[in-house]
A and B are shown apart, each in its own frame.
Chain A
Amino acid sequence: MSAIDDLIDDTGAYDCVECGKCTTVCPVAKLDSNFAPRLIVVKALEGVDGGLAQNKDIWRCTTCAICSNMCPYKVDYTEFIRGLRGEAIIDGFEPICSQGGFMHTIARILSNQLHQDRLNWVTDDLKVAKKGEVYYFSGCQAHLNKIFKEKNVKVIDIARNCIRILNKVGITPAMSNNEVCCGHDLNWIGDEATLKKLMEINIKAIKTAGAKKVLFSCPECMRTFDFDYQGFAGDLDFELVYITDFLMDLVDDGKLEFKDKGKEKVTYHDPCRLGRHLGIYDSPRELIEAAGFELIEMENICENATCCGVNAFVTCEALSKTMQINRLIEAKNTQADKLVTACPKCLIHFSCAVWKEIPVEKEKVDIPIIDLISVVTERI
């Protein structure tokens, strides 16, 4: 039990005053009254783990961090859940992940340093280098693109458009064929050992490329580098920058200009990793407006943004679908032409929710879902 005690210490769970604010904002608890983040913490504090390996609730949490954000004593629930998952794995529990753990299998295969052909999506019109000061970390986008092809999601467009926009301002980003998945999904199912292996490969690949600045277009990768890698390996000697921050700096310096193609109305969904985890709320919005779009906000935004329903491909159940549909209805109600998000995973999950059968009338959720980088690249 000492591991759980350490976890309680690390995440400040002793400070819990049982006010229940976490439960009132939790997207899962809103839809299922049997689930409560507070209950998970209180049970751990009382030492009633009730067989951690059998506790399904720790896998249903979407780790969206809205609870930690709301907590007056700043108990780090998401970290707490992550720790509990790790302990459950040690107890011999094998989580039933969505897609049958396909993404996790791929990440584990990648940790073996095979001779990949990872950059085969870089077409001739895109300029990338082997070495350079600015490095672009593309993550799993090439794999996800093929896996979710039938759901009408073109994840690879995000990566291609990132390079396109960087080329436009005269930057040839360095990329490495030896980089691997960041390990985010494995980290959130409690597989720290493989995460560390992936971390070493990635850090080595980036150092080999001689990068001083690493750009991310996936908030999950950036979060993993920022918190988890730096937690294990100490401060990294390159700067981690999210693509929207980087592009906004260019806009401010007058290096990046957009063509005016009419006022299109868009609404923006805050990904949990980018917003509540990393605290980047402004730059995506500024970028949308700089590109000449009219931004209409939804009801729940920034710290209160609702979740896309799935985290790290762990849980995907009826409640996840309800969360996604609710969010899409919210987006549709703004009368915007497009729903823009900055996370490839949000893009996948929302597109999946409206793929084939939709539990509500189609008109209520009929809004194109597109990623932020592709939307602004249309206007360069």
Chain B
Amino acid sequence: MDNMFKPRIIAFCCNWCSYAGADLAGVSRFQYPPNARIIRVMCSGRVEPRFVFRAFEKGADGVIVTGCHIGDCHYISGNKKAEERMKLVRYLIGILGLEEDRFRLEWISASEGQKFAHVMTAFINKIKELGPNPMFGKIEEGTECQQ
């Protein structure tokens, strides 16, 4: 069953660093699993918490947001904003009952093709461990959960 599970990953990549990093991973032929659907955004600061939850609502098994390293943002401080915004995501994921590991925020520069491939592989392996999005997988009814 585990071998059948192909996670659906949404990756938000910023135009200036991470998307170029993904490009570099491609042209350098670094291998990583093909499960991620990359959405290019101009800046990681563009990614609103609701984008992440919308992805989960629509069936994503994991969401990863990537941007330039802190201090290297093309828009000076967009990634700091992203970091601030993603705190809300981490909090809400916890109280809504999704696993916190289904979401990840990473800084990947345009020259780090290897890192991009590495991060994606690790993230996808983690999601494979966690299994499908609980909203779309089966949960036993009536199970009491601890406060």
Contact = CB atoms under 8 A, between A and B. Distances in A.
A114 B96 contact: yes
B116 interface: no
Contacts of A178: 144-145
A143 B95 CA distance: 8
Contacts of A108: 57
A106 interface: yes
Given A106-B96, A119-B147, A142-B95, A113 B50 contact: no
Contacts, number: 70
A112 B145 contact: no
A102 interface: yes
A123 interface: no
Contact of A106 (B92, B139, B147): B92
Interface in B116-147: 134-135, 139, 141, 143-147
A143 B50 contact: no
Contacts of A146: 88, 91-92
A15 B137 CA distance: 49
A147 B94 contact: no
A117 B134 contact: no
Contacts of B144: 178
Nearest to A107: B57
Contacts of A117: 94-95, 97, 145, 147
B96 A113 contact: no
Contacts of B95: 116-118, 120, 142-143
The size bracket of the interface on A is 20 to 34
Contact of B147 (A110, A142, A177): A177
Interface residues of B, number: 24
Given A118-B95, A177-B145, A105 B50 contact: yes
Nearest to B136: A112
A300 interface: no
A152 interface: no
Given A109-B56, A109-B96, A113-B141, A102 B50 contact: yes
A105 B96 contact: no
A115 interface: yes
A100 B48 CA distance: 9
B26 interface: no
A109 B57 contact: yes
A105 to B, nearest CB: 5
Interface in A69-109: 99-102, 105-106, 108-109
Closest 8 CB pairs of A and B: A114-B97, A102-B50, A112-B135, A115-B145, A116-B97, A115-B97, A105-B53, A117-B95
Given A102-B49, A105-B50, A116-B97, 4 more contacts: A109-B57, A109-B96, A114-B135, A177-B147
6 contacts: A106-B53, A109-B96, A115-B143, A143-B96, A146-B91, A178-B145
Interface of A: 99-102, 105-106, 108-110, 112-120, 122, 142-143, 146-147, 177-178
